[in-house]
């Protein structure tokens, strides 16, 4: 799939729009966990009551994918990965950046110096 955005750009956009997309899923007692992005495909897991639901494929395609296509890019694809099938994910999946504790420590050091 030819996508004009990097995996990182798509991941950031998905994370920014996730609260709006997640409203419907949460109204049914579920949630969306973003596993990562690769080549315009967003890999998610439905959690809570939506996990394992017979309607999970429809929720993924007709709710989550449809809304993310509207908000981000029409060629975006959303793939629901069932729990236990994480080994099927691409090896080089973009999963976001790891939290950087140095920045937090740096901020604390600055605050300490102020007092």
- Residue 103, pLDDT > 50, answer no
pLDDT at 4 over 90: no
Residue of higher predicted confidence among 101 and 71: 71
pLDDT-based confidence at 102, cuts 50/70/90? very low
Structural contact between residues 1 and 75, judged by C-beta atoms closer than 8 angstroms: yes
Report yes or no on 2 lying in a domain. Answer: no
Residue 1 resides in a domain? no
**pLDDT for position 45:** 94
Q: What are phi and psi of 98, to 5 degrees?
A: -65, 145
Question: Tell me: the pLDDT tens digits for 15-56?
Answer: 999 999 999 899 989 999 999 999 999 999 999 988 888 888
- Is residue 57 domain-resident? yes
The domain of 11 spans 7-114
**CATH code, domain with 105:** 3.30.300.130
Segment 61-86 mean pLDDT: 93
Any domain includes 95: yes
The verdict on residue 78 lying in a domain is yes
* Percent of the chain clearing pLDDT 70 (strictly above): 83
Q: 3-state DSSP call for residue 36? A: strand
pTM over 0.85: no
Q: How many helices (H) and strands (E) does the chain have?
A: 4, 3
Mean pLDDT confidence for 55-79: 93
Q: Residue 114 — very low, low, confident or very high, per pLDDT cuts 50/70/90?
A: low
pLDDT of 111 higher than 60: yes
Number of domains the chain is built from: 1
């Amino acid at each position: 799939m030819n996508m004009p955005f990097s995996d990182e750009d798509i991941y950031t956009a998905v994370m920014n729009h996730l609260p709006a997309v997640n409203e419907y899923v949460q109204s049914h007692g579920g949630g969306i966990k973003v596993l990562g992005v690769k080549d315009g495909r967003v890999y998610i897991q439905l959690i809570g009551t939506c996990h394992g639901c017979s309607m999970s494929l429809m929720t993924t395609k007709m709710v989550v994918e449809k809304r993310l296509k509207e908000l981000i890019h029409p060629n975006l694809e959303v793939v629901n990965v069932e729990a236990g099938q994480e080994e099927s994910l691409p090896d080089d999946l973009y999963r976001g950046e790891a939290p950087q504790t140095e920045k937090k420590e740096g901020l604390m050091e600055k605050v300490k110096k102020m007092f």
